[in-house]
Every structure is written in C-alpha cells, then in structure tokens.
C-alpha cells in the first residue's frame, strides 16, 4: 500500500517518479512528510498542465470567443475548455469528489457554434506523452458530454468532505491582454485546503528573475515561459517549469526573508476595480516603501511572492458588496503559507474556504512573509479604517 503512494509523492520533486524509492524515503522522512494527497497532487499537476496547452492555443489564435457574463466580466472559449479538461481528469480519478468551478455551460448550451468551437479545442489539447494523456482518462466523448462535465463544477461547496475548487483562467482580462493569468486548482477537505496548484504560462521559469510588471502592454509569445507552482499542506511549496507532457523536475520555494519592510516589493491587481490602488499607495507610504507596486493579473501574484520574486500581495476591497470567490484564492493561499508566508484578510482573519462558493467572512487579502505580516496588517487597518466603505 505504502510503496505506490511514496512513488507518487516523489513526482512533487522529480521528473522520474518511479526511479528511486530510496531517495523518496529519505526525502519523506527527512522532511517528516506524510504521503497523503500524493495522487491528488500528481493528477492536479498534470490536469493543470494539460489545460494550459489549451489556453495557450486559444491565446495564439485570433478567436478568443469572448462573452460578457451577467456581472460584465469576460469569459472566453479558453475558460470553458480549460474547465472541461480539468473536471474530466478529476472525474476519471476521483468520481466521488465535489467540484466548485467558476464557469457554467449555459452560454454554450445556447450557442452550438461556440460549443463546437470549445469541443474542438478540448479534443486538440493533448499532452505530448500518450501514456500520461491516457493517465488523465483520454478525451471527452462528445460536445454534450463536455457540457455536462463543465456543469459538474456547480457544487455549493462547504466544510464537509472533499471539494475541488477550479478557476480555469484566473485573470481572464490579463489573459486577453497577453498579461499574466493562472490556471488554478485546489483540493479542500472539510473546508481546509490540502493541495494547491497554479499553472502560470506567462511567468518566467526562473524563481530568481526579478519581478516585472506584465500587464500585457507588450504582449509577447509565451513560448519559453511558464511555471507550475504547487503545495501540499504540511509538505512545503514547490515550483517547476511548465511542460507539455511528463512533469518537469520541481524544487522547493520559499518567501524571501524581509528584515526591513521598507525594502519590500508589493504586488497588486492590474484592474483598479479589483483592488483599491489609492489605498495601497497610502499603505506603502506608511511602511516607508518607495518602490512602485508591481501590477499583475491573477494568482500569479501569490506564486510570485511564494518564490521570493516579490514580497507582499495586497488586495484591498473597493466596495462593500463584493465577496471574493474561493477559486480566486484557494491554491495561492496554501502555496504562500507553505512557502513560509502568512495570509489573512484585511482584518487579520485567515481566509476560510468552508462557507460555500465565496469567502463570505473575509474582506480582501494581505499576504506577507511571517516576520513582517503584523506590521503590514497594522498599516492596512489604519488606512482602511480612515475611510470605511
Ligand atoms: N470587484 C471585484 N473585486 C475584487 N475581485 C474581483 C472583482 N470583480 C471580479 N473580481 C475577481 O478578480 C479576479 C481577477 O483578479 P486579479 O487580481 O487578477 O485582478 S487583475 O486582473 O489583476 O486586475 C477575477 O477572476 P477571473 O474572473 O477568474 O479573471 C474575478 O473573480
Ligand atoms: Mg471570471
Ligand atoms: Mg479568478
Ligand atoms: Mg476565471
């Protein structure tokens, strides 16, 4: 029983999951690691990697099939297709699990041309290793089966049992601009996030490359870029190059130690409608930070601070009514915490994912290295309390 699970665990760290059981045992015992969730991690990494093949092909094609949702936010054929592919892989391996996913099939149900376009993308998006493609269950049977699969993501969530959270494209606006975006997947058990994976096709592979704004103003071909971040609760966070087939080698990542908060680099949303950018200027001023913020779309912000490329992530509410969605934060929250960071909302509460599809009890996000989180939170509270929403 134990051996196959240990073999899967090592895929967190190496390209060759089955080649050295001895080194797995050493790594697992040295880090006091459990072998829990190794299969879930392995499948999640492959499912996200496959979904990014689809999103990249959509980005490189002219037709993005963009629709406007009821809240006026955009959704593209890439969002629908990536969601279908991820759910299909999860259902193949974990048919009993519930799924909370951002998108629903309604728009495709009403538009057979769009449905067929998405189905074409889904059948074309294959990992370049046939065995691994088969490991994910192979393709989806037909366009109608695809619609049913997309709608498997309608779970109401909650704090009971195993629930996956999927954001097939986080930062859809960034994706459309050629900026940052992330394919996001997390597993929660009884409301607690256990596994998190972020596929970021437009981030540099190297953890040490300085953080640069990528708002898409100079959209470049994403070839040669791309990183997969992952974490399992209690086992640390890792990054590896985003590939097209077999998983690449991974290595542990850590937040950068910050002794003087005034030297910190902070990240925030590109859209001023998603995070209050004038409040962040005031907070930076209070903390003595003179460097301008790095604006970047999506949970790439969480990944970037977890690998030490940036230091702080501030998401500051712009209005009283917006409630954050669990799929926008579940994977990133775990990856930052497992990399040694602390993540709370703007009132100092841990993000709580067990209340349904939204983070009903939280307001905004403050993510920072543990040693400076208290100081940053204090500045956030002072600025936000000066003008209640
Ligand atoms: N008003 C408001 N406030 C806060 N957040 C909102 C708001 N409206 C939308 N959203 C969600 O923001 C998600 C994208 O967040 P980002 O940090 O990537 O924003 S930005 O693109 O950098 O501006 C985005 O995720 P995607 O829809 O997956 O792109 C939305 O879920
Ligand atoms: Mg959206
Ligand atoms: Mg999102
Ligand atoms: Mg999305």
Query: 95-128, pLDDT tens digit by residue?
Result: 999 999 999 999 999 999 999 999 999 999 999 9
Mean pLDDT of 182-203: 98
State the distance from the centre of ligand 1 to the C-alpha of 130, rounded, in angstroms: 35
Kindly tell me if the per-residue pLDDT of 26 is higher than 50: no
Q: Residue 222 — pLDDT band, cuts 50, 70, 90?
A: low
By alpha-carbon position, which residue is closest to atom 10 of ligand 1?
274
172 included as an active-site residue: yes
pLDDT > 50? residue 14: no
Residue 32 in this model has a pLDDT that exceeds 60: no
Q: How many residues does the chain have?
A: 389
pLDDT at 23 over 50: no
Q: Which of the pair, 34 or 101, is modelled with greater confidence?
A: 101
Decide if pLDDT at 207 tops 50.
yes
pLDDT higher than 60, residue 379: yes
123 assigned to active site: no
Which pLDDT belongs to residue 316?
98
Task: Report which protein residue has its CA nearest ligand 1's atom 17.
Answer: 269
Q: Work out the mean pLDDT of the chain and round it to a whole number.
A: 90
Nearest CA to ligand 1 atom 23: 271
Pocket mutation for ligand 1, best pick of 203, 271, 315 (most atoms within 8 Å of C-beta): 271
What average pLDDT does this structure show over 84-94?
98
**CA-nearest residue, atom 28 of ligand 1:** 170
- Residue that wins the pLDDT comparison between 242 and 70: 242
Of 12-16, 304-308, 356-360, 379-383, where does mean pLDDT reach its minimum? 12-16
Reported ipTM: 0.96
Residue positions in the annotated binding site?
Answer: 102, 167, 169-170, 328
pLDDT of residue 215: 73
Residue 18 has pLDDT above 60, yes or no: no
How many angstroms separate the alpha carbon of residue 328 from the centre of ligand 3?
4
Q: Check whether 320 has a pLDDT greater than 60.
A: yes
C-alpha 56 – ligand 1 centre gap (Å): 20
Tokens, residue 252:
């542990």
Compute the C-alpha angle 278/283/286, nearest 5°.
Answer: 130
Asked whether 73 lines ligand 1 (CB < 6 A), one says: yes
For residues 301-330, give the mean pLDDT: 97
Burial of 385 from C-beta contacts in 10 A (0-12 / 13-18 / 19+): exposed
- For residue 15, is pLDDT > 60? no
When pLDDT is cut at 50, 70 and 90, the band that residue 219 belongs to is low
172 lines ligand 1 (CB under 6 A): yes
Residue appearing with tokens 């969480």: 302
User: Considering 14, 52, 172, 215, which one is annotated as catalytic?
Assistant: 172
Residue 76 CB less than 6 A away from ligand 1:
no
Checking if the pLDDT of 71 tops 80, the result is yes
In the prediction, which pLDDT does 168 show?
98
Average pLDDT over residues 203-231: 80
Which range (216-220, 248-252, 262-266) has the least confidence?
216-220
For residue 371, the model assigns a pLDDT of 96
Determine the distance separating the centroid of ligand 3 and the alpha carbon of 102, expressed in angstroms: 8
> For residue 25, what pLDDT band results from cuts at 50, 70 and 90?
very low
């Amino acid at each position: 029983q134990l051996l196959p699970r240990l073999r899967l665990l090592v895929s967190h760290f190496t390209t060759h999951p089955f080649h050295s059981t001895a080194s797995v045992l050493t790594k697992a015992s040295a880090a006091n690691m459990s072998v829990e969730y190794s299969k879930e991690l392995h499948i999640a990494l492959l499912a996200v990697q496959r979904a990014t093949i689809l999103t990249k092909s959509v980005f490189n094609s002219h037709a993005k099939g963009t629709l406007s949702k009821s809240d006026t936010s955009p959704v593209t054929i890439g969002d629908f297709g990536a969601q279908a592919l991820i759910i299909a892989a999860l259902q193949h391996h974990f048919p009993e699990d519930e799924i909370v996913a951002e998108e629903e099939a309604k728009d495709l149900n009403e538009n057979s041309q769009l449905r067929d376009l998405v189905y074409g993308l889904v059948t074309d998006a294959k990992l370049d290793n046939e065995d691994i493609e088969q490991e994910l269950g192979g393709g989806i049977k037909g366009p109608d089966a695809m619609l049913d699969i997309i709608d498997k993501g309608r779970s109401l969530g909650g704090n009971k049992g195993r629930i996956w959270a999927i954001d097939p494209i986080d930062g859809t606006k960034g994706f459309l601009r050629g900026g940052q975006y992330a394919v996001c997947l997390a597993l929660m058990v009884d409301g607690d996030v256990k596994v998190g994976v972020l596929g970021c096709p437009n981030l540099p592979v190297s953890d040490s490359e300085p953080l640069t704004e990528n708002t898409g103003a100079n959209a470049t071909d994403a070839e040669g870029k791309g990183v997969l971040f992952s974490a399992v609760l209690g086992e640390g966070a890792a990054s590896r190059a985003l590939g097209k087939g077999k998983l690449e080698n991974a290595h542990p990542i850590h937040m950068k130690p910050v002794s003087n908060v005034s030297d910190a680099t902070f990240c925030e949303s590109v859209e001023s409608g998603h995070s209050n950018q004038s409040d962040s200027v005031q907070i930076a001023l209070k903390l003595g930070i003179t460097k301008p913020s790095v604006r970047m779309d999506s949970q790439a912000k969480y990944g970037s601070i977890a690998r030490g490329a940036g230091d702080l992530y501030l998401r500051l509410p712009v209005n009283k009514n917006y409630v954050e969605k669990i799929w926008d934060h579940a994977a990133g929250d775990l990856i930052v915490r497992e990399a040694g960071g602390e993540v709370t909302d703007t009132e100092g509460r841990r993000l709580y994912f067990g209340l349904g599809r939204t983070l009903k009890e939280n307001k905004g996000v403050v993510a920072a290295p543990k040693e400076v989180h208290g100081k940053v939170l204090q500045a956030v509270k002072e600025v936000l309390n000066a003008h209640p929403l």
